[in-house]
Structure 1
Amino acid sequence: MPRPRSLTPDRIASAALAVIDRDGLAGFTMRAVAAELSMSAMALYRYVDDREELERLIVERVLGGIDVTPPDPRLPWVERITILVQRMRTVVAAHPAVASLVPVHRHRSHAVLRWSEAVLGLLTEGGLAGERRVVALRGLLSYLLGAIQLEHLGPLTGPGTAALAELPSDRFPYLAETARSARQVGPDAEFDGGLALLLRGLTAP
């Protein structure tokens, strides 16, 4: 029996995303999404099979906004990769709780596939192939998604860093000093600095 068409996948994904943005993944349930759409949970199952399908819709809804237009070819390949990574960061960071869903559903996301293909082309241009290219792509994705979650869940300006800065220096001298310095680092400087270190490693012989 065909599913009714009164609700589009995009509208369902938008409602689910509103729940996640407001209540986090802990509050993301089929019942909560159904309530956001002013319908029963049973009625929602007429449109999506299960939570996994709903998660895929959310990932595609968010990452569909990534601009995968090739950066200026006159730029070095490392700078072009930086641009592509920054574009994904901008899109995912607008809905940081979704970052943990991307690794699970990336293989079925057309947006992630297009982004990965663009990055792999640049890695190839930079001379990376085989296993090294595999590790490079996964390293970039891991850094990108991990950094977004760290910024969201444990920002350097948050109470966790403040608590580390107060650790006794006789027992944790490096940790306490680093935490005090960390409070002066903005989120962009943190992300850009870490990405630069990673890309520098990729260019090493």
Structure 2
Amino acid sequence: MASDRSGAGDPARTLALLWGVTAQEKPGRRGPRQAKSPAEIAAAAIAIADAEGVEAVTMRRVAQELGVSPMALYTYVPGKAELLDLMLDTVFAAVPRSAPVDGGWRARATAVADDNRALYRAHPWMAAVATSRPPLGPGLMAKYEYELGALEGTGLPDVELDAALTHLLGFVETCARMASDERAARQDSAMTDAQWWAANAELLARVFDAGRYPVAARVGSAAGEAHGGAYSPDHAYAFGLARVLDGLAVLIEECREG
């Protein structure tokens, strides 16, 4: 379960930070010139999260990386919640945009899914952040506009268009989270999945009764042999994406016929 979530900070201060809105100065008064930009702060925080996970990102740690005091950092960013939204929106702004102009909606939707998968691979910590209330910054809005274009023109009504995109991206997020779990298990055990199963094969053979679970034994063996372990992130993604697109194809056809 995600321990961090977007949209947890003060909405007004978060939106001001993301969109670069500053309070108007009073006549005759000037505040101190800011030495750090939101982009520099976001880059420092993202670098920490990429290397050590989002839990390692604290205001104190980011301030240390930037060479400023923790109190000084609060003059740029209100707090950790707003910092997280700034990180996410910065990452969203940099999402790859590889959807082909031609090739049909399925090719465009595949590109959107692949783009998001690449984003999770570059920033694994994103899979640990709940985004039910996403940061409504320029990065997210540009990403949303681009991704909607993959399904624009299919005949889906606007509500279904949004739901179809949410369904597609939810699938990618789930795959990213499972892939992150698989990497964590591999690192914790210092073994690949195949090595772990090989090391425990004798124990499993003693406790598992194939006669009692014949279908599980047959299917599990076939999948394990095909994937070199109990789970293959690449196969799960390719198989699942095809099924998601198949389902959307049915919905699109129904809308066109209706």
Match in the other structure for 1:174: 216
For 1:12-27, what aligned pairs fall within 5 Å after superposition?
A: 12-27=41-56
Match in the other structure for 2:89: 60
- The structure with more radius of gyration: 2
Does the aligned pair in 1 maintain the 2:175–2:233 contact within 8 Å? no
Q: Which amino acid aligns with 1:85?
A: A
Deviations 1:26-73 (A, max 9, x none): 222112212222332212111101112211221122222224465222
Aligned-partner Cα distance in 2 for 1:198–1:139: 8
Deviations 1:109-163 (A, max 9, x none): 3233223223323324223225432321211121122211211122598469656
Tell me the matched-pair count: 204
Match in the other structure for 2:244: 198
Residue 15 and residue 156 in structure 1: after superposition, are their counterparts in 2 closer, same or farther (change >3 A)?
Answer: closer
Residue 127 and residue 98 in structure 1: after superposition, are their counterparts in 2 closer, same or farther (change >3 A)?
Answer: same
Match in the other structure for 1:116: 144
Q: CA RMSD in A?
A: 3.2
Q: Does 1:72 align with 2:101?
A: yes
Identity value in percent? 27
Aligned-partner Cα distance in 1 for 2:214–2:61: 44
Q: 1:28 aligns with which of 35, 57, 62?
A: 57
If asked which structure has higher relative contact order (CA below 8 Å, sep 6+), I would say: 2
Aligned-partner Cα distance in 2 for 1:171–1:43: 62
Q: TM-score, normalised by structure 1?
A: 0.80
For 1:8-157, what aligned pairs fall within 5 Å after superposition?
A: 8-68=37-97, 71-73=100-102, 75-101=103-129, 103-104=131-132, 106-155=134-183
The farther-off stretch of 1-10 and 19-28 is 1-10
Does the aligned pair in 2 maintain the 1:68–1:84 contact within 8 Å? yes
Does the aligned pair in 2 maintain the 1:156–1:183 contact within 8 Å? no
Q: TM-score, normalised by structure 2?
A: 0.66
